[in-house]
Amino acid sequence: MSFKRVSSTAGVMAMTGALLLTSAPTASADYIRDRQWVIDVIDFKKVWAESQGEGVTVAVVDTGVDGSHPDLTGQVLKGMDVTGSGDAQDDTNGHGTGMASLIAGHGHGTNSSAGVVGLAPKAKILPIKASSTGDDYRGDQWAEGVRYAVDEGADVINLSFADPSAVPDSKGAEAIDYALQHDVVVVSGTGNDGITGVEYPAKLPGMVAVGAIDESLKVWKKSNFGPGVTLAAPGVNIARADTTESSGYAEGSGVSDATAYVSATAALVRAKYPDLTAGQVINRLIKSATFLDEDVKKVPDEQYGYGIIRPYAALTKDIPKGPKQGPLAQSSPSTSTNSGAASDDNDSTSQVAKKKKSSSGSILLIAGIAGAVVVLGILFAVIRSRRNGGSSGSGSGSGTPSHGTGYPPQPPTGYQQYPNTAPNQGYPTPPGQSPQQPNPYTQQPPHQGQ
């Protein structure tokens, strides 16, 4: 059964002055690098002082990844083509190469100052080609790709597509469960229709479901929302690598791009904290996220989830590990959604159960039924105090996936030479905002996903 990619509405888009930056960033001589507004908002250099994703493998299940692109040389492993056409690095669509560049692109030229740079430039990319056109995915094939990625040691799996057939009893769902059981962080987008309903596979239990924000750091109008949204990340007017274009680059908007940035953030955390489980990595992403000045009444929010990613905070904030299964674990005889995002201890639900059993037994021996009632009341208070305020990351609702529109060529500049940019051109400060004001994205936010 075929399905559609949760891709990007791609094209050449004019950059605006909507960014809430401290001031215009220093201009470079590279046209493509100057269009990467996310670099300044997230402050890549500050993040890289903590982690660059070294030693981590991110599987990109997509249209393949062209490892010959100058911004990806040396980053792309052999991978697997589950479509049967042959080569996982033969990307005739460009989408997979684009996602890989946002995750692990290293740029090129002098001091790597040209081209696209990813958020985790030292992570490795394991390409899984599951589509040739971006629309001809098959559930059994991408499921095979996910299992291959797990068996090859992938730490993070990026799924920038939607699959209406990936219901809980499908092969795709079984493959996702296989990945989660083997301690892999799996990330997918919510959908590009601007409607209520998170798409599959992002909707499946344990998945990190990602929505997109624009340059004003507001939820993108086409980003699907509703129960099940986990995080939000930049996904509008995103410059990325694309060897199907004459310039080698394209620009687009969609939850696909946001998904790639969340996958990259997970790679950064896994590199710095190799002892954390996949669930505990997700816990750091959630606990460090921000709502900025949004007046969020309930967490997770149906648009932002637990908030917008803050990679630097995810790497540096003092966040207890939390339960091994993480905040997105589903209720079962051995786990509970109560040990989710807001849990600040390392005790598991089973440990709480042991305490309950021990205390109950002691009271029954000492004081009979009356004493048992008292202690059970105390236990109830203890357990209640350990509960988190969030709910599971999965949710209900579905949406209709949309096709990408292709990636029109960038200006015919080639890989190496780009038009010079006037000094301090960058992204102007919005009218009425003082250049001295701090970047709200990097501030301690008034609301956090905790």
Does 329 reside within a domain? no
Tokens of 397: 């609702």
User: Catalytic residue among 40, 62, 91, 257, which?
Assistant: 62
Residues 137 and 84 in one domain: yes
User: Which helix H or strand E contains 365, and what residues bound it?
Assistant: helix 349-385
Residues 100 and 167 in one domain: yes
Does 129 reside within a domain? yes
Does 396 reside within a domain? no
343 is catalytic: no
Residues 271 and 360 in one domain: no
Residues 280 and 376 in one domain: no
256 is catalytic: yes
Residues 281 and 375 in one domain: no
Confidence (pLDDT) at 421:
26
- Parallel/antiparallel/unpaired status of strands 106-108 and 156-159: unpaired
Residues 30 and 150 in one domain: yes
The DSSP code sequence of 300-329 is SBTTTBT-B--HHHHHHS------TT-TTP
Does 9 reside within a domain? yes
Residues 365 and 282 in one domain: no
Residues 364 and 279 in one domain: no
User: Catalytic residue among 69, 95, 108, 447, which?
Assistant: 95
Question: Of 224, 229, 195, 191, which Cα lies nearest the Cα of 209?
Answer: 229
Does 188 reside within a domain? yes
- Distance CA(162)–CA(257), nearest Å, equals 14
Residues 100 and 198 in one domain: yes
Domain assignment of residue 373, given as a range: 349-385
Tokens of 341: 């995002």
Per-residue pLDDT of the chain (450 residues; tens, 9 = 90+): 333 444 455 543 322 222 322 233 444 458 999 999 999 999 999 999 999 999 999 999 999 999 999 999 999 999 999 998 889 999 999 999 999 999 999 999 999 999 999 999 999 999 999 998 888 888 999 999 999 999 999 999 999 998 888 888 899 999 999 999 999 999 999 999 999 999 999 999 999 999 999 999 999 999 999 999 999 999 999 999 999 999 999 999 999 999 999 999 999 999 999 999 999 999 999 999 999 989 898 999 999 999 999 999 999 999 999 999 999 975 333 333 333 333 333 333 333 333 333 333 333 333 343 444 333 344 344 334 333 333 333 333 333 333 333 333 333 333 332 222 223 222 233 333 333 444 545 544 444 433
Domain boundary among 316, 339, 372: 316
Does 362 reside within a domain? yes
User: Catalytic residue among 51, 256, 288, 394, which?
Assistant: 256
pTM listed for this prediction:
0.74
Residues 353 and 312 in one domain: no
Residues 33 and 158 in one domain: yes
Evaluated on CA atoms 228, 232, 238, 240, the torsion sign reads negative
Does 400 reside within a domain? no
> Looking at the 3D structure of the chain, how many domains does it have?
2
Does 85 reside within a domain? yes
Residues 200 and 122 in one domain: yes
Angle between helix 255-272 and helix 95-104 axes, rounded to 10 deg: 40
CATH code of the domain in which 122 resides: 3.40.50.200
